[in-house]
Structure 1
């Protein structure tokens, strides 16, 4: 357990035990993480499907960009709406609705007409529906898992969703490569690429019908008997009652505030809530400004710019998906061993270094040198590995943990909305940047990385080793900020909080 600000709330709980209840938590996480798998597949499949889709429908580069980015911008809206919906109707019901949206979105894309304008229009509609579902899943699934998991293993349980995301992306890359190499000559093969994700959507729908609601959401709605019934299936009996009492205690303390200033008004009226929502937005944006999704969407284009042929680039891009999966395994192993802040700083330092090295390699190695594409591919591989090992999973876990219960869905929705919006801007601009600046584009990511390092060090509180209720109490009285380091090391200088 972390020693950073651990409170009496953790000490008051009976120790975590193994048994049927712990297996139940594992099963719930597997089913819910099908939402993450869909998130990953739907964001990764476009890297291989865009070419044959554009050829069949006769899309221009701009129209292709609209198709790809439509999902991303819709995901920003879906993240916000999903958070609000989960606060209103529950985490479980929201995930069931998202499963339906995943399936419907796939149908629109797969069954779109082959004619130019009609096909383009229907595909964009399908991608918007998928984007709303992806954004909703990115918000609701981590919160659902965080609220069900014991605090001792909350990081690894919640982190499984990000592991499912990168697994979905890897599967998309592999399926794209296999279908392109074996059936690439078949017209409409891109429809099969998109259509594969209908299967996990069906699994998510029927699986979540048998899963419980979040006990913390039930308490927040005054349904304590139902909350205890759920906790009794995922905790030992004495632990379930002790945990329920803690949740009820914190929820009761906030009832008056919640009744008078719900939602946005509550956030605006409390300086600590305003601050943590702004920090949450910054963390979500920092994750996207590493450029990780630019690689996941346009990895083959970057490799072509480095010197690979189109076919070789598509095959080589599967290595980036493999790096993400390997990094995810490393992250899950360390999630309940390393503090969140530690993983943030290590991850962003490594990704910034990789950006710098890619830019240097692009400038220093001649374009006609046969080694050039392989050097750059290895550096991008290391970037993805670093990102997934230390940053991506930690970000999603932290966002699911940090916000108070009665605004959790709204606050994470706001944060992830801004993250997805920046993601969409990158999806639109990366092809242009790579075309005009080449690999020196990575220098821009390196500069942003240095700035984000300062932000993370100075503003991000620690969450590991604490109950959600303990975190909430420390946040609402400002104590969690007083635990932050007093000085910021930056380029050999020190930033002193006492003077600024």
Structure 2
């Protein structure tokens, strides 16, 4: 393969300053992620009001919280085909409109069932954004800055979660207004997206080389090595055109050489959810109020958790391209496991009353520190860069759908599990999931930091996709 081992880690572009359009693409990523974080996080505090307005029980509350996740699974799968047929740009424009529509429908819902249906529409946009936006930004970004640019998506999630917890803790707005407010950033996202070009890699796949070069030139500085970067893209696409059509798109995911990427991507997606992050984000106020906390105190704890999440997203954004994706994850996961183990012990030994409040809150904050600063960073970042171009849309779709399906299962069963075995053993169960996540990353996840998308694909195609293989190159 002509792009193979001869390409150095410096191939692609000169690490020059980012252009205004590249920053605009990062802004679209951040806004779409803000909507994801806000729309999923706002239900945490809103459930306390919805419970009173609609007289819901724990079963219906799980349905309302989980409805957005069902929509996300559908959106992630559908957006794969849309982004391949329509292009990344037009798909993101559609997603922006659905975000606005879903927010309005949910905010005016007259019944709990219609509220859940409105959140399914919102979920379609959330799932579509997680499948398409990180991939779009990764395909626009220079290799050396790809990690930080794609991770603006993660930072945006943190901003959305913090805003949602602040809105909930203020108790100043009705749940209808707080949910409907999400339509405003959706319109901002739409306007920003109108300025941006199509992905040059998608244009090359459509045999539109001149347009691809123009798109690449628009998002690169004058000092960037465009000929080299475009040459790598064209070279790889030429090789992929030589394979049979059945090896592209969804059917291409069945190829043996692609399987290691699919295993790593979907495995990371599963463990980001099994680590306990959604349990804490969605149900922390419910768990705390059920164990003696006042509603106001529980909502204030949620704000602290959201702020910790955002801070660690920003820290991760600043260091991931220096520390490395794999190394950072392996450093942080043990801390998350230990904090959940201690939290479980507090509940099991009866230290869950007001006298133990500082210890409970500390465990929750420590968990968020280690989880958000490590494993959570990898969910969307790996999906945007680990799959070959011929199957990238399908691969990111499967990974996003896997993540949202796992999230849906957790969200719709967590309160039932807590009622059956208690909060303490539930925390221990999630601590064990973190141990399993550490072992998975250690054995299966290679270090992708600093490599171009074409270099990653070359190593995958050559069967050199184990952590040790990347350490040698």
TM-score bin (small chain) = over 0.9
Deviations 1:317-375 (A, max 9, x none): 1111011011111101111111111122122222111111111222345345x331221
Aligned ranges 1:10-29 → 2 under 5 Å: 10-13=9-12, 15-18=14-17, 22-29=19-26
Structure 2, unaligned runs of 5 or more: none
Specify which of 166, 172, 175 is matched with residue 167 of structure 2: 175
Of residues 22-31 and 291-300 in structure 1, the stretch that sits farther from structure 2 once superposed is 22-31
Q: Distance in 2 between matches of 1:98 and 1:470?
A: 31
Residue equivalent to 2:114: 122
Asked whether 1:456 is paired with 2:448, we answer no
Aligned ranges 1:82-101 → 2 under 5 Å: 82-101=79-98
Asked whether 1:244 is paired with 2:227, we answer no
Of residues 221-230 and 119-128 in structure 1, the stretch that sits farther from structure 2 once superposed is 119-128
Deviations 1:397-416 (A, max 9, x none): 12211001121111011012
The answer to whether the Cα contact below 8 Å between 1:347 and 1:386 also exists between their aligned partners in 2 is: yes
Deviations 1:244-303 (A, max 9, x none): 1110001111102153433232221x2121232122111100111001011110111232
**Alignment length (residue pairs):** 466
Aligned ranges 1:41-440 → 2 under 5 Å: 41-113=38-110, 119-178=111-170, 180=171, 182=172, 189-237=174-222, 239-268=225-254, 270-364=255-349, 366-368=351-353, 370-436=354-420, 437-440=422-425
Q: Distance in 2 between matches of 1:6 and 1:42?
A: 44
Do the aligned partners of residues 424 and 7 (structure 1) sit closer, same or farther apart at CA in structure 2, a change above 3 Å counting?
farther
Question: Following TM superposition, by how much is the alpha carbon of 1:418 offset from its aligned partner in structure 2, in angstroms?
Answer: 1.3
The answer to whether the Cα contact below 8 Å between 2:71 and 2:121 also exists between their aligned partners in 1 is: yes
Residue equivalent to 1:483: 468
The answer to whether the Cα contact below 8 Å between 1:359 and 1:441 also exists between their aligned partners in 2 is: yes
Residue equivalent to 1:186: none
The answer to whether the Cα contact below 8 Å between 2:62 and 2:413 also exists between their aligned partners in 1 is: no
Q: Distance in 2 between matches of 1:252 and 1:476?
A: 15
The answer to whether the Cα contact below 8 Å between 1:33 and 1:161 also exists between their aligned partners in 2 is: yes
Q: Distance in 1 between matches of 2:470 and 2:138?
A: 26
**TM-score between both structures, scaled by the size of structure 1:** 0.89
Q: Distance in 2 between matches of 1:125 and 1:224?
A: 43
Question: Following TM superposition, by how much is the alpha carbon of 1:7 offset from its aligned partner in structure 2, in angstroms?
Answer: 5.6
Q: Distance in 1 between matches of 2:31 and 2:90?
A: 15
The answer to whether the Cα contact below 8 Å between 2:346 and 2:352 also exists between their aligned partners in 1 is: no
The answer to whether the Cα contact below 8 Å between 1:303 and 1:373 also exists between their aligned partners in 2 is: no
The answer to whether the Cα contact below 8 Å between 2:268 and 2:378 also exists between their aligned partners in 1 is: no
Of residues 99-108 and 344-353 in structure 1, the stretch that sits farther from structure 2 once superposed is 344-353
Do the aligned partners of residues 40 and 395 (structure 1) sit closer, same or farther apart at CA in structure 2, a change above 3 Å counting?
same
Do the aligned partners of residues 195 and 354 (structure 1) sit closer, same or farther apart at CA in structure 2, a change above 3 Å counting?
same
Do the aligned partners of residues 251 and 344 (structure 1) sit closer, same or farther apart at CA in structure 2, a change above 3 Å counting?
same
SS state at 2:429 partner: helix
Do the aligned partners of residues 427 and 6 (structure 1) sit closer, same or farther apart at CA in structure 2, a change above 3 Å counting?
farther
Structure 1, unaligned runs of 5 or more: 114-118, 184-188, 487-500
Question: Following TM superposition, by how much is the alpha carbon of 1:83 offset from its aligned partner in structure 2, in angstroms?
Answer: 2.3
Residue equivalent to 1:8: 7
Q: Distance in 2 between matches of 1:317 and 1:260?
A: 48
Question: Following TM superposition, by how much is the alpha carbon of 1:482 offset from its aligned partner in structure 2, in angstroms?
Answer: 7.0
Q: Distance in 2 between matches of 1:383 and 1:375?
A: 12
Question: Following TM superposition, by how much is the alpha carbon of 1:15 offset from its aligned partner in structure 2, in angstroms?
Answer: 2.5
Asked whether 1:34 is paired with 2:18, we answer no
The answer to whether the Cα contact below 8 Å between 1:40 and 1:164 also exists between their aligned partners in 2 is: yes
Of residues 392-401 and 126-135 in structure 1, the stretch that sits farther from structure 2 once superposed is 392-401
The answer to whether the Cα contact below 8 Å between 2:335 and 2:367 also exists between their aligned partners in 1 is: yes
Q: Distance in 2 between matches of 1:6 and 1:249?
A: 14
Q: Distance in 2 between matches of 1:121 and 1:362?
A: 34
Deviations 1:374-409 (A, max 9, x none): 211111111111111122123321221100112111
Q: Distance in 2 between matches of 1:430 and 1:7?
A: 50
Q: Distance in 1 between matches of 2:246 and 2:107?
A: 48
The answer to whether the Cα contact below 8 Å between 2:447 and 2:467 also exists between their aligned partners in 1 is: no
Question: Following TM superposition, by how much is the alpha carbon of 1:305 offset from its aligned partner in structure 2, in angstroms?
Answer: 4.4
Q: Distance in 1 between matches of 2:179 and 2:169?
A: 13
